[in-house]
Structure 1
Amino acid sequence: MRVITAPLRALKPSGAPAAERLVVAPQDLRTTDPTVASDIYAGYFAFSGKVVAAGGKSPFLIDPPSAAWAEGLMGFGWLRHLRAAESALARANARALVDDWIGAWGRPRGVAWETGVMARRLISWLSQSPVILDGADRDFYRRFLRSIVRQSVRLQRQLGRTEDGERRLLGAIALAYVALCTGASAGAQRRASRQLADALERQILPDGGHVGRNPRTLVDLLTDLLPLRQVYANQGVEPPRALLNGIDRMMPMLRLFRHADGSLALFNGMSVTPADTLATLLAYTDARSQAMENAPHSGFQRIQARGALVIMDAGKPPPEEFSGRAHAGCLSFEFSDGPARIVVNCGSPPPGGDHWRQLARSTAAHSTVTVNDTSSCRFVQEGSPFLGSPILAGPREVPMERIARREPDPPAIGIEASHDGYRAAFGVIHHRRVLAELTGERLTGEDRIQVLNARGSQNGPDAFAVRFHLHPTVTAERSEDGRSVRLASTNGPAWVFDAGGMMVGIEESIFFAAPDGARRSEQLVVHGAYRTTPVVEWRFTRETAAGRRSAAQAESTPADPA
């Protein structure tokens, strides 16, 4: 946090809050890379998988290669890399680029003035204002502060017309920053705080999850909200209760999604985990704080038995206005053993992978059951670049309960749930039960397709597939009879999968959430027909030393000549 003391009375548009100076610069918790500053100085701008060489021109006058690239450029999040360079040249470059934008885009039009982009730019400018203003003259300071005021007035007007979603919450966060960082009147600060509180109360659920059900949204929100909380404290302004309570609830929820290797589970748009940012966020909490296990409002469950961990989606799709990037992964789960991730979902493609996005959202890209090669949700076919493709229909009822089993069975803890996403199309309900033995040696499950009515029992397709997508670090080796598969991980013990005597197939898959881009992977698939074989019982068993010796002996025993 840095206090800025240079006073200046800025010109302001009619109706704008008075802003005489910037009084504080919020901390930016996002990771930085000073080598990016060199690329920017050389005229190379890389966003969302696209690289553009400005060739001596202002990047703000170039036709953008994609809407996502334009959002990245106009949001100015890249200013933090110029700050990391810690050089007079980088600071001068930052100031020149901001001045270029003010000259080229100072009047509202196009993507630069879209609600979410404008909010991100305001937060970036305020956070990096020490870099932008270092060495600035009076005239630039006037233009810079006047632009902040103009943008905040425009943002305030647009929020009332912005559909309730993440962009609206981001806008409220940005306006709270502006009110505090410009030393606005107490009344203006109270109004901004009320607006922020209203948005947080609508979007942060009682268990700390975001209504859009994407783990990455929690990361992004906390990255903005934690510094905002500090700005309130530094300015001696009472923060809204919804801000304090929201942060306190979101932290355990964020831990719910976290595997032992530090990655977040891949649900509803989550892609590559920003490991450095996540570590920074978790450092703000008590190291002894526990992950939430039961999040009924968000629809997620976590069960852990020694090193074995299961994270499961047991909730309905988010409301339509928040579902633009949500996935059809109801009752999917991820399974890890210590640092070894074994069963995963495919995740969401990183920026630039839009041609894969709808495939990644399908039910088949998740470790759950597909019926008749159909997704459990129906999406809008043509979405907008800002809102995505909302979900039109999907599971409406997802009853769930946590269960515990004792003698005569081995002590275990688990989840039992069902969803009706296939009821309208095929007249069936998917039931799933997952049990983890407390020894951490076995994970068992059952998937059952319940036929409800004539539509489900009449002639026609009745195929279903139980899918378990494997992490790219897992190697699958099927037994000779095809009824079990040995899963060897590069950073953990081997596990053996079987489906109660049913045939287990190994098919190709794709993992979108690797730091170096999409990677080839595999999936285990058990096929069935729900009119004749409606139940699949499966299990993952940790391979013991005796099991390894038995397999080795079998391999070394000569085949019977007969």
Structure 2
Amino acid sequence: MTFQKASRFFNTIRYLTLRQVVFRFYYRFARVRQREYDDVRSRTWSSGWSAPRWSELSTEDGIAFTFLGVEGDVRDPADWQAGQHSKLWLYNLHYLDDLNAKDIDTTPALAETLIRNWTQANPPISGDGWEPYPLSLRVVNLVKWFARNESLAGSRLESLATQADALSQQLEYHILGNHLFANGKALVFVGAYLSGAKADEWLAKGLQILDEEVAEQFLQDGGHFELSPMYHATLLWDMCDLVNLAQCSGLPELNQRLPRWQAVISRGLAWLRSLLHPDGKIGFFNDAAFGVAPDFMHIEEYAARLGISIAPDAPDPVAFLNSATGYAVVRPKTGVKALLDLAQVGPDYQPGHAHADTLSFELSVFGQRLVVNSGTSQYGEGAERQRQRSTGAHSTVEVAGQDSSEVWAGFRVARRARPTIERFDLQDGVSYIQASHNGYRRLSSSLIHRRTWTFSEDRLEMIDQITSDQFVAVARLYIHPDVSLSQGASRFVADMGTGKKVVIELAGADQVRVVASTWHPGFGCSIANQCIEATFSGRPLTTHIHWS
């Protein structure tokens, strides 16, 4: 191992908790024991399960599936573990999300086919489907489906119990974060649905996990601590599921937690709303894409059905900081909204969904996205995944061709940028925001990137400074695919459609050019767009964006 690789490895593992280290060693040698269950019965709930649906069916026949924009056939038992598909594609196959997708109740034969095919092709306890994360999501999907179709559950409850038992033996303490949350949620669901001493154990263990993880993972401003709007939306839906479960089951252990869970959802909705563009969809910070998690309107509808609401959105233009998560929101005018990433990389011990996007921003004008980050179209450890996590794929500044945080291996981060908010003022309708980060200190101990945004009603002035003239920096503005650019020297005109235009001017650059790039609004999705690149060194770069 080279010194560089050794350093990167050390600066990755040094943030792990003792619990993660212990369980990584434990699971390397531990083996899951198969236990079979007979005469498994369900509890009697106070009301039946009912919840809104947001996802589309991935299959019409239980053979041809589409996940992450990729099609594949599953005809034989071996296809459930097929090497021609990515690990994430196979995980999606094993989730059985279709059991609770839109229109599934109009095709009950499809649901039964999915359950039967999975059970026959995946005997206990080996294969991708018996790993803890797909187990967690599938257990919840099965409980929801059985709770709606009690007459069809029958002996399938014995398989459900076996799956819950396998999950309980491999809880993801070595990963923590949203994975452990999903484990806890699954144990609560299956423990609340099945009856008996073992179900009581699963329920108690799941609640113990959730009590710890909800308190840690949802921060004071309402945001989820992994700092991905997409994962925040996923876990907010999970929280709604838990409230729904408490109301349907009537179990006192769940009902006593209702006030706490409801407050988390209310704050979480407010946070998520702040990270939406005028088009009603999330900004792309860290791992984020459309279609993976429910949209805000879906979660808001679910919460409303549960009796949970949030305060109306503020009607006046404002600038505010989600102080616990570090995302700033500026709305200088109706139809104009900027989202600024002043956030840390994420929880030190679990930055797996982080990008090197510190001090990046996104901007919508006239209700249309203009400046964007590049999004996320794939996981894994390939070159494209690495590029999408890099600083160069975001609307921020790259120095000497390096990333602000050392992202690597798909879900790893070594040395991390630490941002500092230096100014956050709103005076006479003008917003002044200044922040810096030290992510490039490995190049020079005094090297800092400082970015200053000044918003008024009709324009943005942004100043980028690098505290050294020894390095060449590149500032990038990724432009939404629906916006066309025309160029003249260091001045660009962005055609927003319907006759509306935005002028972008840069001063202080050594070179300015437009390059072809791609935007990734969904997994498996790549759309051509343009990127303005400005190279500068030794003096500030000033970017003016005028929308009046």
TM surpasses 0.5: yes
Matched, 1:490 2:512: no
- Where does residue 212 of structure 2 map in the other structure? 198
Shift of 1:230: 1.6
- Where does residue 6 of structure 1 map in the other structure? none
Q: In structure 2, what is the Cα distance between the partners aligned to 1:391 and 1:279?
A: 33
**Residue among 136, 152, 158 paired with 1:119:** 136
- Where does residue 5 of structure 1 map in the other structure? none
Are 1:472 and 1:522, in contact at CA under 8 Å, matched by a contact in 2?
yes
Q: In structure 1, what is the Cα distance between the partners aligned to 2:372 and 2:262?
A: 33
**Could you give the per-residue CA deviations for residues 123-170 of structure 1, whole angstroms, max 9, x where no partner exists?**
111122256655x3xxx612x111222222222222264421211111
Q: In structure 1, what is the Cα distance between the partners aligned to 2:172 and 2:77?
A: 36
Matched, 1:398 2:420: yes
Q: In structure 2, what is the Cα distance between the partners aligned to 1:326 and 1:320?
A: 11
RMSD after superposition: 3.1
1:537 and 1:93, CA in 2 relative to 1: closer, same or farther beyond 3 A?
closer
Shift of 1:301: 0.7
- Where does residue 73 of structure 1 map in the other structure? 93
Are 1:29 and 1:277, in contact at CA under 8 Å, matched by a contact in 2?
no
Gaps of 5+ in 2: 1-33
Q: In structure 1, what is the Cα distance between the partners aligned to 2:108 and 2:526?
A: 35
Are 2:337 and 2:363, in contact at CA under 8 Å, matched by a contact in 1?
yes
Q: In structure 1, what is the Cα distance between the partners aligned to 2:249 and 2:422?
A: 45
User: Which stretch of structure 1 is more off in the superposition, 204-213 or 18-27?
Assistant: 18-27
**Could you give the per-residue CA deviations for residues 350-393 of structure 1, whole angstroms, max 9, x where no partner exists?**
57996521111110111111111211111233xxxxxx421111
The amino acid across from 1:323 in the alignment is P
- Where does residue 221 of structure 1 map in the other structure? 235
Q: In structure 2, what is the Cα distance between the partners aligned to 1:218 and 1:420?
A: 27
Q: In structure 2, what is the Cα distance between the partners aligned to 1:497 and 1:434?
A: 14
Are 1:45 and 1:51, in contact at CA under 8 Å, matched by a contact in 2?
yes
- Where does residue 442 of structure 1 map in the other structure? 459
**Residue among 431, 439, 446 paired with 1:421:** 439
Partner of 2:175, secondary structure, is coil
**Residue among 248, 254, 274 paired with 1:256:** 274
The amino acid across from 1:295 in the alignment is N
Q: In structure 2, what is the Cα distance between the partners aligned to 1:130 and 1:176?
A: 14
| Higher Rg of the two aligned structures | 1
Are 2:397 and 2:476, in contact at CA under 8 Å, matched by a contact in 1?
yes
**Residue among 519, 541, 545 paired with 1:536:** 541
**Could you give the per-residue CA deviations for residues 53-73 of structure 1, whole angstroms, max 9, x where no partner exists?**
234768547556221121011
User: Which stretch of structure 1 is more off in the superposition, 200-209 or 490-499?
Assistant: 490-499
User: Which stretch of structure 1 is more off in the superposition, 411-420 or 97-106?
Assistant: 97-106
User: Which stretch of structure 1 is more off in the superposition, 105-114 or 236-245?
Assistant: 236-245
Matched, 1:107 2:121: no
Are 1:105 and 1:112, in contact at CA under 8 Å, matched by a contact in 2?
yes
The amino acid across from 1:179 in the alignment is G
Shift of 1:195: 2.1
1:232 and 1:85, CA in 2 relative to 1: closer, same or farther beyond 3 A?
closer
Matched, 1:21 2:42: yes
**Residue among 324, 339, 348 paired with 1:297:** 324
Q: In structure 2, what is the Cα distance between the partners aligned to 1:266 and 1:319?
A: 18
Shift of 1:274: 6.1
Matched, 1:527 2:535: yes
Shift of 1:19: 5.2
Shift of 1:414: 3.0
- Where does residue 411 of structure 2 map in the other structure? 389
Partner of 2:395, secondary structure, is coil
Q: In structure 2, what is the Cα distance between the partners aligned to 1:492 and 1:95?
A: 53
Matched, 1:178 2:190: yes
User: Which stretch of structure 1 is more off in the superposition, 348-357 or 301-310?
Assistant: 348-357
- Where does residue 556 of structure 1 map in the other structure? none
Are 2:386 and 2:408, in contact at CA under 8 Å, matched by a contact in 1?
no
- Where does residue 24 of structure 2 map in the other structure? none
- Where does residue 407 of structure 2 map in the other structure? 379
User: Which stretch of structure 1 is more off in the superposition, 261-270 or 184-193?
Assistant: 184-193
Are 1:166 and 1:322, in contact at CA under 8 Å, matched by a contact in 2?
no
Matched, 1:433 2:452: yes
Q: In structure 2, what is the Cα distance between the partners aligned to 1:497 and 1:63?
A: 47
The amino acid across from 1:280 in the alignment is H
1:27 and 1:228, CA in 2 relative to 1: closer, same or farther beyond 3 A?
farther
Are 2:377 and 2:522, in contact at CA under 8 Å, matched by a contact in 1?
no
Q: In structure 2, what is the Cα distance between the partners aligned to 1:211 and 1:338?
A: 31
Q: In structure 2, what is the Cα distance between the partners aligned to 1:525 and 1:126?
A: 51
Matched, 1:168 2:168: no
The amino acid across from 1:100 in the alignment is N
Q: In structure 2, what is the Cα distance between the partners aligned to 1:67 and 1:31?
A: 24
Are 1:338 and 1:492, in contact at CA under 8 Å, matched by a contact in 2?
no
- Where does residue 31 of structure 1 map in the other structure? 54
What's the TM-score, normalizing by structure 1? Answer: 0.80
Matched, 1:92 2:105: no
**Residue among 51, 65, 72 paired with 1:45:** 65
Partner of 1:393, secondary structure, is coil
**Residue among 282, 290, 298 paired with 1:280:** 298
Q: In structure 2, what is the Cα distance between the partners aligned to 1:198 and 1:264?
A: 27
Shift of 1:338: 3.8
Identity %: 22
The amino acid across from 1:246 in the alignment is V
What's the TM-score, normalizing by structure 2? Answer: 0.82
Shift of 1:79: 2.3
Aligned residues: 496
Q: In structure 1, what is the Cα distance between the partners aligned to 2:82 and 2:421?
A: 52
**Residue among 155, 165, 177 paired with 1:153:** 165
Are 1:371 and 1:422, in contact at CA under 8 Å, matched by a contact in 2?
yes
The amino acid across from 2:483 in the alignment is V
Gaps of 5+ in 1: 1-12, 382-387, 452-456, 544-562
Shift of 1:477: 1.0
